[in-house]
Amino acid sequence: VMRRSPFGMDICCRKGSRSPLQELYNPTQVSLSNTAILHQIRRDQVTDTCRANSVSSRKRRVLTPNDLKHLVVDEDHEMIYCYVPKVACTNWKRVMMVLTGRGKYSDPMEIPANEAHVSSNLKTLNQYSIPEINHRLKNYMKFLFVREPFERLVSAYRNKFTQKYNTSFHKRYGTKIVRRQRKNATQEALRKGDDVKFEEFVAYLIDPHTQREEPFNEHWQTVYSLCHPCHIHYDLIGKYETLEEDSNYVLQLAGVGNYLKFPTYAKSTRTTDEMTTEFFQNISSEHQTQLYEVYKLDFLMFNYSVPSYLKLE
For residue 158, tell me if it sits in a domain.
no
- Walking along the chain (313 residues) 10 residues at a time, the average pLDDT comes out as 37 58 84 84 96 68 88 97 97 96 91 93 96 95 98 96 93 96 95 96 96 93 96 96 95 93 80 93 96 97 96 85
Kindly state whether residue 24 falls inside one of the protein's structural domains.
yes
Domain assignment present for residue 63? The answer is yes
CA distance 178 to 195: 8
pTM: predicted TM-score of the whole model, two decimal places: 0.91
Domain enclosing residue 53, as ranges = 20-148+220-254
**What pLDDT shows up at residue 11?**
32
Chain-centre distance for alpha carbon 309: 24
Give the pLDDT score at 86.
96
Q: Is residue 176 a part of any domain in this protein?
A: no
Q: 233 in a domain, yes or no?
A: yes
DSSP letter assigned to residue 274: H
In sequence order, what DSSP letters do the residues of 133-190 get, joined into one string? Answer: HHHHHHHSEEEEEE--HHHHHHHHHHHHHS-TT-HHHIIIIIHHHHHHH-TT--HHHH
Quickly count: other Cβ atoms within 10 Å of residue 304's Cβ: 18
Is position 184 within any domain?
Answer: no
- Cα 281 to its chain centre, rounded Å, is 26
Give the containing element (helix H, strand E) for 236: strand 236-239
Q: Is residue 42 part of a domain?
A: yes
In a domain, 139, yes or no: yes
- Residue 284 and residue 101: Cα distance in Å, rounded? 48
**Single-letter residue type at 72:** V
Number of domains in the chain: 1
